[in-house]
Amino acid sequence: MTLIRMEARWRWLLRPQPPAIIPAEDASGPMCRTKYGAPIPGQSYPLLPHPEEESADDAAPASPFSYAELEVKLKQITPDWKAIKPSAKMFDMIETLVRGLRSMSQQHDLFTQLLQTADYMRTFSSRRQEIENQLRLRMEEAEASLSTMREENEALRWSWLRRKVEKNQLRAAFMRRRVRQPG
């Protein structure tokens, strides 16, 4: 799978999803704490501060990001969140959500960089393997050529030795004829 196809696949998987509309009567659990848009009597809302808690939570320090905390904060958002007046707790929760989304974005960027690095490494490795194969073929060709040249050299050497022997024999024969013929 190429890097472009992998990136397209991840973009498709990570594309923004439209918000899901869940009717209040069908919803269950901590996501929905209202019935037909009205608050359930006796039910406390984490986004609505209690008067005695408000001053204590305003000075709470920001904690590091965790997915569990982000999940809890997201589940605390109610369908009628526009009816709630802003508070320090709400801003703290929004800060946590933003921090979580930023962290997710950074992790996505790191993952994309890791995928690119892996793709570059795979490309480098395959190119290096290709170069090694080409060099191996060139070396085999050079060895075959060297072997052929050695055989030709040996044949030329034997030919030279034969000619030298013939030359010496002709010289010896010429000297014998010269010695026999005075004059």
Q: Where are the domains of the chain?
A: 64-157
Q: Is the pLDDT of residue 122 over 80?
A: yes
What mean pLDDT do residues 119-143 have?
Answer: 95
- Residue 92 is predicted with a pLDDT of 81
- Residue 38 is predicted with a pLDDT of 43
What mean pLDDT do residues 86-110 have?
Answer: 84
Q: Is the pLDDT of residue 138 over 90?
A: yes
What mean pLDDT do residues 89-107 have?
Answer: 85
- Residue 44 is predicted with a pLDDT of 46
Per-residue pLDDT tens over the stretch 163-172: 999 999 999 9
Per-residue pLDDT tens over the stretch 142-166: 999 999 999 999 999 999 999 999 9
Among 14-18, 19-23, 25-29, the least confident range? 25-29
DSSP the chain: --HHHHHHHHHHHTSPPPPPP--TTT--GGG--EETTEEPTT---TTSPPHHHHHHHHTPPPPPP-HHHHHHHHHT--TTGGGSPP-HHHHHHHHHHHHHHHHHHHHHHHHHHHHHHHHHHHHHHHHHHHHHHHHHHHHHHHHHHHHHHHHHHHHHHHHHHHHHHHHHHHHHHHHHHHHHS--
